[in-house]
Structure 1
């Protein structure tokens, strides 16, 4: 198993993408965006009354939009007593809002630069510690991660590739990958990134026991540098 990846890539990427799209859509509403921007600029959590007063809104309107932002995980809800007192007579804790730790990234077509970044960072760190060439470590880490992803229960390789943004398409007996999730990196560092991608996809096939296909370098305009071909 690829050390360091277990907690990062077990989520369903399609579900994460859908949630991010929903969160971005929530910010398209002007009042909601103003409330979000106000909350994140404050040094501490903000109450409904404070937000409403700051933006000249009715308290009910502010509460509705703040709760919608919390539902989308864009804001966290905390409860604090603003009086500083505790015990009987201290009053009920106020419902407050603050920016959540959720990170949103929506790209069309799909990109996976964080995945590539983690692989590259691990390769550099291990190379520095062991003296093994960076490229060799990167290839090994990519293949290990691929085997982990492909080895999950009931993995369908085509569905997995779709979820990670490769946009697999049947082309005769081959599976063409119509999108490269590492496109910008591959344009600037073609040999390095395409080699990493090849090992990642080889690992996915190995982990899923998809012995009917093999990953091959087949660069060309408008699609991923790797193609899945029937195994010889």
Structure 2
């Protein structure tokens, strides 16, 4: 089975209605492979969610940038998962670095938010990753493991509607394209090297993650 690529764009706290309409127009004119090969998700600010959803091409999807940890109520300024479902928004970003760092969202709080959003039928882009300071101190794997374990601990089962996004200051789809110095993140135990293209893949991948390769994981593989 061919791997489906995921392309996401977080617009953060930016834009006017005129600027958003221009971006949507550009996206609508874009050329991509079939929806079976790639999934595109954009995440505008909350106030623009209905505008983007109503005008964006149907094979692209919309994500909210956050949602609350429980059902709505006396939580001024928050958006509930139920509200997003009511608007027909299929995706939500949870645990973004800016919320972790600026608003002090803990690993456990992020895990609870992920679990609640999934329980209401949303698909989740869960953000994990280390800061530059944590990377330079050599604590990358410890930090990312703690964040990931907190999310896993909050879930009653493994859910295919969750995808991980990170690290905080530099993103990479595979472990293999960070090569040296401060940008290098050591591969987790069990990672495997593709025999065909020499790409380094995470342990949970059964097929090579490099575009155009798709080779199967060797029956016995090591880092």
> TM-score by structure 2 length?
0.28
Tell which structure's C-alpha radius of gyration is larger. Answer: 1
- Of structures 1 and 2, the one scoring higher in RCO (CA 8 A, sep 6+) is 1
> TM-score by structure 1 length?
0.27
